[in-house]
Structure 1
């Protein structure tokens, strides 16, 4: 098995065009506790609003620019019209395993049961309505946290980060296996190749040159935090024919 380069994952996101309480259309603000994320604009325009060590910022998203951010950065995608992006995530598998935490107000973040009730998408009808409500909860919380950051400075995020870390604590030990088997294993493999090349050893690894391909998961795009997702089956990648 050859993972996507760097043990990353990619998905195509059509950012929601649903309006929010402040008049902006877009997705659910959230942060990642262990993974970095990058955006490549495929179509349309918009921006990403962030809360981080430098406070609040609004970054334009265009085809002439790529943007990425580190764990702990609160990010909110705003759709300026037809915004579609390619999302590149570090640590493939971790975001899907619960690495993302939505920016609800403290009372929801402090109660794991209440958090799960408004976050985990249920099976059956009414999914879009549920996802819209989830997004609205996250936006309302985000605007509350943003107000605190603008008033108190970036230190106001310490409370949000503490809630996020507590919510994911029970999952983090399982994430270590994903990290070891994917990005860390890829890095070690590269290190072995470099050692062999530097030592003038037989470049045996080059004899295994192969091409892999991964198809998009079939069916309609699923509901994600920020938009409709087209994901790719990198775990089931096969040699390209």
Structure 2
């Protein structure tokens, strides 16, 4: 757990895509609707304006976003970011490592969701034509999303079941990521509390300072700048 971000969360800068697309009767700029199965996601808006469209068993919702807003939602919330003007967000993801390992399912039409190979082909970013492939998967996800928004409770339940079946082969891997990351972080806090209760402050001598090393990625809703922790030694100028 050395150097992990607080609580083993993931942090990214996000510039929401400004590509227009028709969804229902509207032409809006934004990303691909998708759903996380085991991770809560939070947005801290740092610039621009827009909205996040969400769909749960409670219905469809459009939440406006502007600088200073903080919004979060739990697993099972289908969401899509809308860019109305240079929308920039700091994204905080629960369970760092799980989203990167497949804890997100696009709202593709049922026929694609039912076929592991078809889903993989539709969701993969082509390294030679990344923007083209990201736009293509966005449009396919919007098609499925529109059907879910206009559909019944059973249509949404069917999507949940299909998403669960898609990720089922990954659960063993996810358990390892969760055990070595978020669970280990919580257990470390428990050990520190036990030590402090007994008057033991020895863990404080291991304190250090860390910085994030950014990596670029084509995200589901925009261009991502993910931060991986890099240790900085305590030795230095003393400033």
TM-score scaled by length of structure 2: 0.92
TM-score scaled by length of structure 1: 0.91
2:46–2:68 Cα contact (<8 Å) kept = no
- Give the drift of 1:53: 3.1
**Structure 2 stretches of 5 or more lacking a match?**
none
**Is structure 2 residue 11 aligned with structure 1 residue 10?**
yes
**Is structure 2 residue 236 aligned with structure 1 residue 238?**
no
Moved over 4 A (4+): none
- Give the drift of 1:45: 0.5
- Give the drift of 1:36: 0.9
Alignment of structure 1 residues 11-160 onto 2, 5 Å:
11-22=12-23, 23-124=27-128, 126-148=129-151, 152-153=152-153, 156-160=155-159
**Structure 1 stretches of 5 or more lacking a match?**
none
Q: Secondary structure at the match of 1:72?
A: coil
Q: Which moved more, 1:114-123 or 1:164-173?
A: 114-123
1:38–1:68 Cα contact (<8 Å) kept = yes
- Give the drift of 1:69: 0.7
The aligned counterpart of 1:186 is 185
Say how many residue pairs are matched: 230
2:45–2:65 Cα contact (<8 Å) kept = yes
RMSD: 1.3
- Give the drift of 1:156: 3.7
